[in-house]
Amino acid sequence: MGYRVAVVGATGNVGREMMNILEELKFPVDELFAVASRKSIGVEVSFGEKILKCQALDQFDFSKIDIVLMSAGGTVSKEWSEKIGRAGPVVIDNSSAFRMDPDVPLIVPEVNPDAVMGFRKKNIIANPNCSTAQLVVALKPLHDVAKIKRVVVSTYQSVSGAGKEGMDELWNQTKGVFVLGPPEPKLFPKQIAFNVIPFIGTFRDDGYTDEEAKMWKETQKMIDPSIQVTVTCVRVPVFVGHSEAVNIEFHTPMDEDEARDILREAPGVQVIDKREPTGYITPKESQGEHAVYVSRIRNDHTVENGLNMWVVSDNLRKGAALNAVQIAQLLHERGLLERAEA
């Protein structure tokens, strides 16, 4: 017997991937409901062989639902996730609204599956930021062997991380450059086509952005509060797939060969690391895949116990939809899901 699942944000980048992944992973779904805003009432989305018509969030009865995969942005989550959780279903929330709430587990199943146990307090489980999710999958197995002291990360984040509007903006600007000149930036603060933008989110008083702060706070919540993380987040003109240049300093020895061996055995990780011109992964190759790819693993000659590596993953999958469905699988496997009365 399966579950009654609602995907909120079903017309979005992440929502569509959620439906693909529920099908791909054969998650036991009895009935799936596609939910979006009022403007999408009746809009058709596909779930396997089926075509579903979207329903409006504010008219939907969640009391008959077992699992809600929530992916409609932070403002919608702040207004709705707690209410939905109180109505019965467990909410797996993709936004940043509840990630740092002490009563809400923040989960990457390969990293901290046992932390899920506290989820009944609010009936909400948070999914991390897309850049954090792939980072922690690569850091955790190394931290288990030689404690990590400090991490320096520079991200190369695709435009799909900013939703379907972000993809449209890159597409329209790219076409425009060759015709009448690119249209004015709307979503991104500067032209993204043929450019890179070292600013994602909003500025904090200390000069970092909230996107950068999410990465260190979430890494500390999921792995270890003693890990120091410093970040520069950059938007690049790539449609799907986030990349990260990661420098790690350990408390105890860890060299490139040991790291490669550890990562080869690590859940969710695929090491592609040949010292030849095509022996690494690019975001294009990560698109549609489930793995967190680690390439270019090499000793850092400037510190005693340091490594550099290149980490790439599909931000719509491990960074969002796949991780959310894996959380649902984790709950199912541990017998933690209850079924609402139909």
In the complex with ligand NAP, the residue whose CB is nearer, 173 or 315, is 315
Site string for ligand NAP, 118-147 (x = CB under 6 A): ------------x-----------------
Q: Indicate if 54 belongs to the active site.
A: no
Least distance between ligand NAP and beta carbon 246 (Å):
18
Packing angle, helices 256-265 and 130-143, rounded to 10: 110
Judged by CB under 6 A, which of 45, 57, 213, 231 binds ligand NAP? Answer: 57
Tell whether residue 326 is a contact of ligand NAP (CB under 6 A).
no
15 binds ligand NAP (CB under 6 A): yes
Does residue 316 bind ligand NAP (CB under 6 A)? yes
Taking CB under 6 A as the criterion, the residue among 23, 28, 60, 73 binding ligand NAP is 73
Structure tokens at 52: 């579903």
Contact window for ligand NAP (CB under 6 A) among 102-110, 181-189, 228-236, 312-320:
312-320
How many residues bind ligand NAP (CB under 6 A)? The answer is: 29
Q: How far apart, in whole angstroms, are the C-alpha atoms of residue 38 and residue 212? A: 33
The one among 31, 37, 183, 298 contacting ligand NAP by CB under 6 A: 37
* CA 327/CA 114 separation, integer angstroms: 11
Q: How far apart are CA 77 and CA 173, in angstroms?
A: 31
The answer to whether 242 is a known catalytic residue is yes
Integer Cα distance of 182 and 179 in angstroms = 8
Q: In this complex, which beta carbon is closest to ligand NAP, that of residue 200 or of residue 294?
A: 200
Q: Of residues 5, 21, 22, 36, which one binds ligand NAP by CB under 6 A? A: 36
Residue 12 lies near ligand NAP (rule: CB under 6 A): yes
Q: Other C-beta atoms within 10 Å of 61: how many? A: 10
- 229 CB burial (10 A radius; 0-12, 13-18, 19+): buried
Please, are residues 304 and 251 in contact by the beta-carbon 8 Å criterion?
no
Residue 81 is a binding residue for ligand NAP (CB under 6 A): no
3-state secondary structure of 298: strand
Which residue of the set 54, 143, 233, 242 is catalytic?
242
Give me the 187-226 binding string for ligand NAP, x by CB under 6 A, dash otherwise: ----------------------------------------
Could you list the residues that contact ligand NAP (CB under 6 A)? 9-15, 36-37, 39-40, 57, 71-74, 76, 94-95, 130, 160-161, 163-165, 315-316, 319-320
Known catalytic residues are 130, 242
